[in-house]
């Protein structure tokens, strides 16, 4: 069932509203990653010792270059994990547009809805980003204590959080927050699995830029299937 929801979402990837959200999400995501890397370079510059004299060898000036190149590889590695909170949080600001495009095409019999205010979308996005970052920071302890289980903890945790947030946002457009929470609790295993399937490709560079849009559309289909509003 989840894969049929995803297939429907993938079939609509050419929708102009999908493309608009995609380019906004890609642009803002790359801007944040560039800003993060600029901050890391500034830190490297502060730590650069310049020329260091080593007894028996003499002055060594390549340590700064090593730190700079090392920071590039470190940022590339870190971006794989940053993409889950960054790309997902940014795109969740536009989830309402994606969900509306899905409903216009697949569920035209439903009554129209008012558009979510920009402030509400921003507030939900900030809350979501805070929860994701906070939970993943706390999970570092588990990664250190259980290194062999780290991948399962990482994808299980982020799958739960992504499924919770994306389903809630998709469902509360028509159910309200209380109704969306009740539906999520009643269908938690399927929603959690859908979140894990979304988290997996989010750690693959390039592909992860497309997943939040497809995830938003998939969870919209998932909600309507569970609510019985699909025809």
pLDDT at 116 over 70: no
- What backbone phi and psi angles, to 5 degrees, belong to 52? -120, 130
Q: What's this model's pTM, rounded to 2 decimal places?
A: 0.78
pLDDT for 66: 47
**Running DSSP on this structure, what letter comes out for residue 48?**
-
Confidence of residue 56 (pLDDT cuts 50, 70, 90): very low
pLDDT at 135: 84
When pLDDT is cut at 50, 70 and 90, the band that residue 51 belongs to is very low
Spell out the residues 6+ positions from residue 191 whose beta carbon is closer than 8 angstroms to its own: 163, 164, 167, 184, 222
Residue 75, pLDDT score: 59
* Most confident of the following: 51-55, 93-97, 98-102, 205-209: 98-102
């Amino acid at each position: 069932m989840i894969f049929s929801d995803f297939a429907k979402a993938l079939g609509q990837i050419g929708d102009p509203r999908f493309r608009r959200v995609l380019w906004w999400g890609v642009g803002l995501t790359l801007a944040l990653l560039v800003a993060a890397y600029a901050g890391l370079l500034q830190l490297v510059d502060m730590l650069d010792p310049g020329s260091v004299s080593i007894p028996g060898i003499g002055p060594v000036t390549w340590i700064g270059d090593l730190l700079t190149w090392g920071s590039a590889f470190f940022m590339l590695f870190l971006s794989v994990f940053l993409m889950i909170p960054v790309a997902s949080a940014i795109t969740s600001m536009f989830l309402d547009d994606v969900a509306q495009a899905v409903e216009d095409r697949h569920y035209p019999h439903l009554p129209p809805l008012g558009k979510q205010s920009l402030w509400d979308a921003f507030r939900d996005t900030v809350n979501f980003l805070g929860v994701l970052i906070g939970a993943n920071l706390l999970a570092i302890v588990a990664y250190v204590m259980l290194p062999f289980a780290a991948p399962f903890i990482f994808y299980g945790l982020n799958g739960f959080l992504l499924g919770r947030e994306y389903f809630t946002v998709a469902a509360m457009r028509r159910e309200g927050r209380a109704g969306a929470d009740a539906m999520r609790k009643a269908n938690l295993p399927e929603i959690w699995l859908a979140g894990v399937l979304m988290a997996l490709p989010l750690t693959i560079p390039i592909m992860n830029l497309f997943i939040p849009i497809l995830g938003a559309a998939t969870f919209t289909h998932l909600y309507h299937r569970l609510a019985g509003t699909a025809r």
